[in-house]
Structure 1
Amino acid sequence: MTATVTREASAGRTRPVRRRVGSGHLRQERRAGWLFVAPAVIVLVVFLFVPILMALWVSLLDWNGQSSPFSGDAEFVGLANYQSLLADAGLLRSDFMLSVRNTIYYVLFNVTGVVVVSFALAMAVNSYVLRGRSFFRTIFYFPAITSSVAISVLFLFLFQGSGVVNVVLSWVGVDGPSWFTDPRGVLHIVFGWFGVSEAPAALADTTLGGLSLWNWLSGPSVAMCALITLTIWASSGTFMLFFLVGLQDIPVELEEATAIDGAGGWQRFRHLTLPLMRRSIVLVVTLALISSWQVFDQVFILSQGAPAKTTLTPAYISYVRSFGDGQFGVGAAVAFVLFAIIIVLTLLQRWVGRERRA
């Protein structure tokens, strides 16, 4: 909208008169807007949406990757890949359910550990008492910019049988486990401390997805614990920055007012810091949840699913089935089932963590 000015001769003053902008001018603005965003839209369509649609088509085929998925060499099998993955009893469903069990424990411990550690680091580097805060921020963030391959190789040496971790444990009289050869779950180990070494009949006879409830309650394996330790250490620096931004947005006046009112450190943290950090916590949990379900490179370097498939993950199964066995249809089906799991859990987490009106 624009305005023209007319003069009233009798009153000697001006008044605005609105004039409707022509539709041709609005069309020019729209065309200019689309022209500016066209490169980004083209990149998204060509390199994101088109590959997603092609992968969805491949998940409906029996394709070995040696020819075009749109040629006659690729046999259309419909939902057979999804049926063999989720319904038909066999090695594929067994491996997939094992990977889901492993990833569930990985997500629970990894997300919890990342949130706690990154929040603690953010609180530490945001403290005015700490000297050299910029130095510590850089040190804590450094693993995030280091290659995951290099970090995985480093942890492989740390957690081997004669590695540094076991040497340190021996100093306090603890025999370190064989981290990447022990397939026992930590919950089963704890149950063994109380004399429960065999599966109770109720848990052994009841199955879910082809696995007994006793297997579902195994907990993360010893090797998975080493993997969780690696990812918590490597990713906490990144999420520390999210929390640090949220902490710096808290008005100093509020903290000073609560201190004047006599609130202690724990009371300020519980009733002031945590409520005001709600959005940052939801964001970090969401991002950590998504990245945890997609874990691949650490598994590929450290264990490749061993020992006894206790570090197997859906992303690694998708890779092995596609590039190892030449079953690209099955690999694509695993990827889309994993995508559906991530979407459902993310929406559920966002619903649980949404802001509620008083």
Structure 2
Amino acid sequence: MAHAARRRETASGWAFIAPMLVVLGLFLVVPVLMAAWVSVSDWNGRGSPLSSDVGFVGLDNYRDLLLGGGLATQDFGTALRNNVYYVLLVVPLQTALALFLASMVNRKALRGRGFFRTAFYFPSVTSSVAITVLWLFLFSASGTVNAVLAKLSITGPNWFNEPRGVIHLLLGTVGVDSAPAALAQHGFLGIPFWQWLAGPSVAMTAFILLAIFTTSGTFMLLFLAALQAISGEVEEAAVMDGTSAWQRFRLVTLPMLKPTVFTVITLGLIGTWQVFDQIYTGTQGGPAKTTLTPAYLSYNAAFANNQWGRGAAIAFVLFAIIVLFTVLQRFALRERGVPRRKRFYTDGVPR
């Protein structure tokens, strides 16, 4: 009787989740499998990718992309370099800013907390296309940003037309204008190491500021919810122990926010590695491909050049990169066991 009841419960469970499994299968699993097939085929975008005239090319698309040494490899290397700097700057800065904003608006003594929460979150719900267009006006050669810098006696750059990297510009101020022979002759993915060390271009720096401006509000809400979930008794106990505000934040609050930090960093990594709409609306990879990203390169290869196999291959390499970074940061933020303390007895011998 009990066995029959369990079977009925199992059947009922499968019946409830069957519609969602069908939806996920049709709109997630099937497209991923189709994209995987396209990445190992020579489909040119015409007709069905499952037709008999579409040939299987194996890993040729991946080989041309990663090991070919031609223009495809150089473009992918350039896009990867640009995106690496984008990720390394955006994710830490937006996480730190979001946590700072959440801490500020969580204070009970702050008047108008609702207003500030709405104001900080508002850029996150605004159209990314609209904000990108606004950014183009603000950071144009005669825009507001350069006008403010001029009042401070600072000559602003031509933001979206300056292809040089920020690190190269800083090195130029101290007389380093050319690459050492070792960095100029050797490289990775068709890009010399000197170019890998160029830093984000001035144009990409503007997009980095844009990403921090538009995403910090969303992550602020996540941190705010986590801060409000912390019991006031924990804070009171820390105060009774005589800790300072910074000690309470570092030793009490921040460890309790570790799951939220993991979520924020994971979402940040996924979002920054997939940046596309700002690039498409703003510069389309220019100037001199210094704002080119793998996501935009994948779109351009497939939809503009009808190289659907290469575009799908770029997408799957990008997927592998995102998974790798997620696993690494999960390992870095993993829960570590508390070491067992040694107890000393009156004879001074640890037991």
TM-score (normalizing by structure 2) = 0.94
Which residue of 270, 290, 294 maps to 2:270? Answer: 290
Is structure 2 residue 95 aligned with structure 1 residue 126? Answer: no
Q: What is the Cα deviation at residue 259 of structure 1?
A: 2.4
- Secondary structure of the 1:77 match is coil
CA contact (8 A) 1:160 1:180 kept: yes
Structure showing greater radius of gyration is: 1
* CA distance in 2: counterparts of 1:109 and 1:22, whole angstroms: 58
Deviations 1:137-168 (A, max 9, x none): 11111111111111111111111111111111
Deviations 1:37-67 (A, max 9, x none): 1111100001000000000001111111111
Q: What is the Cα deviation at residue 275 of structure 1?
A: 1.5
Which residue of 243, 249, 258 maps to 1:278? Answer: 258
Which residue of 56, 67, 71 maps to 2:51? Answer: 71
Mapping for residues 1-358 of structure 1, pairs under 5 Å: 21-358=1-338
CA contact (8 A) 1:183 1:221 kept: yes
Deviations 1:76-135 (A, max 9, x none): 211110110001110000000111111000000000111111011101110112111111
Moved over 3 A (4+): none
CA contact (8 A) 1:203 1:213 kept: yes
Q: What is the Cα deviation at residue 22 of structure 1?
A: 3.2
* CA distance in 2: counterparts of 1:335 and 1:225, whole angstroms: 24
Gaps of 5+ in 2: 339-351
Task: Label 1:44 to 1:192 Cα distance change in 2 as closer, same or farther (>3 A).
Answer: same
Q: What is the Cα deviation at residue 25 of structure 1?
A: 2.0
The one-letter code matched in structure 1 to 2:137 is F
Q: What is the Cα deviation at residue 205 of structure 1?
A: 1.9
* CA distance in 2: counterparts of 1:194 and 1:268, whole angstroms: 43
Root-mean-square deviation (CA, aligned residues, Å) is: 1.1
The one-letter code matched in structure 2 to 1:74 is V
CA contact (8 A) 1:67 1:73 kept: no
TM-score (normalizing by structure 1) = 0.92
Give the fraction of aligned pairs with identical amino acids, expressed as a percent: 54
CA contact (8 A) 2:76 2:189 kept: no
Deviations 1:199-236 (A, max 9, x none): 11121122122211111100000000100011111011
* CA distance in 1: counterparts of 2:173 and 2:241, whole angstroms: 49
* CA distance in 2: counterparts of 1:277 and 1:345, whole angstroms: 20
* CA distance in 2: counterparts of 1:192 and 1:250, whole angstroms: 49
Gaps of 5+ in 1: 1-20
